[in-house]
Structure 1
Amino acid sequence: MKLATYTANGQTRTGIVVGDAIIDSGVAGTMIDLIRDWDHHKGDLEKKAAAGGGVPLTSVRLEAPVQRPGKIFAIGLNYADHIVESKMETPQRQVWFTKAQTSVNGPYDDIEIAKGTMTNDYEVELVAIIGKGGKHVSADDAAGTIFGYCVGNDVTERMWQHGGPQWSLGKSFDTHAPMGPWIVTADEVDDPHSLGLRCFVNGEQRQSSNTEHLVFNIWSQIEHLSVGMTLEPGDCLFTGTPGGVGAAMDPRQFLQPGDIVRCEIDGLGHIEGTMVAEV
């Protein structure tokens, strides 16, 4: 099932995407509320999806599927080719950073270049959305904690990222976590470790890889994070980006106002944003 957060007639709701239409879920609250009570709502939503109807997707505004995640974590240096181009060693332990809630952005919204910054970059990533969650989750049990997956762009301001010993400031600028266009529930993703992912800037392909090349797979990521914290419904995990980022090109190619950045993942759809200068 594809589940989206959308705005129509001034109201933001959750809905089921079927083909080119969206059907209101009828569930009060946010996507996090729906995820939390999924076992209660799933049957009714499946019936609504089968019945069809709804309104055209083009008549609504798609928002980030989870607009205010409790936690946004992202793993760095998790594809071999990205490690090589970054001129760093393969990490022996997982390298994690956070992205602020205020970085969350819709799938087709503009992406801001903040005042005084000049080294904005793209990073296509598979995003895992936590469902049941928990603490001390083993790798063997990790798949059962995931509600679904979506496309993400871990937009990064490189000078701020590398201006200190940690990366979170350079990863947390407003609008720098576009996600969407919807969540594909985990039962409809046969193998999250076999998905092609790509990024384009102004139609030029910059990144192309497959999640089979993750250094630390998604199950080990969940096992690692849940050692010290409880993963909760709606938490978002950016699972790593492959090689091809602008900072590694010669000469370096950072994003400029007017650039259009498209990220896509097999079976999950695509997101696309235009870079704009902060006013």
Structure 2
Amino acid sequence: MYFITYLQEGTERIGLFTENRNKVIALEEILGEDIPKNMVDFISYCNEDVIEKIKKGWRTRGDQKEVFIDVQDVKICAPIPYPRRNVICLGLNYKDHADELKDTMAAKVPKVPVYFGKMASYIIGPKDEVNSHPGVTEAIDYEVELAVIIGKEGSNIPAENAEEYIFGYSILNDLSARDLQQKHTQWIKGKSLDTFTAMGPCILHKSLVPFPVELDLSCKVNGEIRQNSNTRNLIFDLPYIISDLSRGMTLKPGDIIATGTPSGVGMAFQPPKFMKPGDVVTCNIEKIGELTNIIK
């Protein structure tokens, strides 16, 4: 199941992609109209029974072509356009990324997770423009990351039970103003400019991915491959992250955890390869799809 948020004639809806991503169907067509109308509320509402109803309803609706909409007739948004809380991010969670920043940011391979918050009152989606903020930053960078979407509330979660608390996975581009990041030493300003969080195109339900999660991920700028790795290379894996974060801190449905980025970021090149207006950045994660944005 590929859960999506989309706009149809100006109205926000939640639904599903078909497997080949060329059509969408509203969740109302499968579950009835008496369901939550946004993704965060739906995730809170969703449980194993609801997932089974979706699977059964999908089989029933499969031959009813009139309930499917051509993807070109809707606007695909970030699956969670309006998060309830800050995005929780991990820094330096791939060894090769920590290594590549040892000279520019005095980075070291962490012995404990490096957590920070990314303010994102609105998350942009596929094909949306990234504001380059001229006069504010001159060093826009990209970071492809696997985003974990929490599915139910929990605290003090044992690592062996972590998957129970996951709803699914998406692609997140943790766009960064490196000059602001270095100037302020704390990262929240450089990570939180408007439009600097992009996510999509969908949330891949956890039932479609073996656990532990080992997915290829990559990032291209104007067709040039900059990043290429696999989530098996995470220093701190998903069970550890969820368990560690939840110690004394309650995770809630719809929380977004960005799990870190591999080597190949723009600031690590000599000279740096920062993005500029007109550049096209495409993040790809196996089984989830691709997320393309344009620098404005």
TM normalised by structure 2 equals: 0.90
Displacement of 1:191: 3.5
Displacement of 1:30: 0.5
Alignment-derived partner of residue 146 in structure 1 = 166
Counterparts of residues 1-279 of structure 1 (less than 5 Å): 1-18=1-18, 19=20, 20-26=22-28, 27-39=35-47, 41-50=50-59, 51-52=61-62, 53=65, 54-71=68-85, 72-87=87-102, 88-102=107-121, 104-116=123-135, 117-191=137-211, 193-276=213-296
SS in 2 for 1:90: coil
The one-letter amino acid paired with 2:52 is G
| Structure 2: gaps of 5 or more residues | 29-34
Q: What RMSD over aligned residues (CA atoms) do the two structures have, in Å?
A: 1.3
| Structure 1: gaps of 5 or more residues | none
SS in 1 for 2:183: coil
Displacement of 1:44: 3.2
Please tell me whether the aligned partners of residues 107 and 273 of structure 1 are also in contact (alpha carbons under 8 angstroms).
Answer: yes
Distance in 2 between the 1:103 and 1:208 partners?
28
Q: Tell me the number of residue pairs that the alignment of Structure 1 and Structure 2 aligns.
A: 276
1:28-86 C-alpha deviation (Å, 9 max, x unpaired): 32001111111253233223322233101111101110122223100000001100101
Distance in 2 between the 1:243 and 1:66 partners?
27
Distance in 1 between the 2:111 and 2:230 partners?
21
Please tell me whether the aligned partners of residues 259 and 275 of structure 1 are also in contact (alpha carbons under 8 angstroms).
Answer: yes
1:179-219 C-alpha deviation (Å, 9 max, x unpaired): 01000100101135311000000000000001111001111
Distance in 1 between the 2:211 and 2:243 partners?
18
The one-letter amino acid paired with 2:11 is Q
Please tell me whether the aligned partners of residues 102 and 175 of structure 1 are also in contact (alpha carbons under 8 angstroms).
Answer: no
Distance in 1 between the 2:11 and 2:202 partners?
18
Please tell me whether the aligned partners of residues 103 and 173 of structure 1 are also in contact (alpha carbons under 8 angstroms).
Answer: no
Distance in 2 between the 1:250 and 1:101 partners?
30
Structure with greater Cα Rg: 2
The one-letter amino acid paired with 1:68 is Y
Please tell me whether the aligned partners of residues 81 and 122 of structure 2 are also in contact (alpha carbons under 8 angstroms).
Answer: no
Give the percent of matched residue pairs that are identical in Structure 1 and Structure 2. Answer: 39
SS in 1 for 2:146: strand
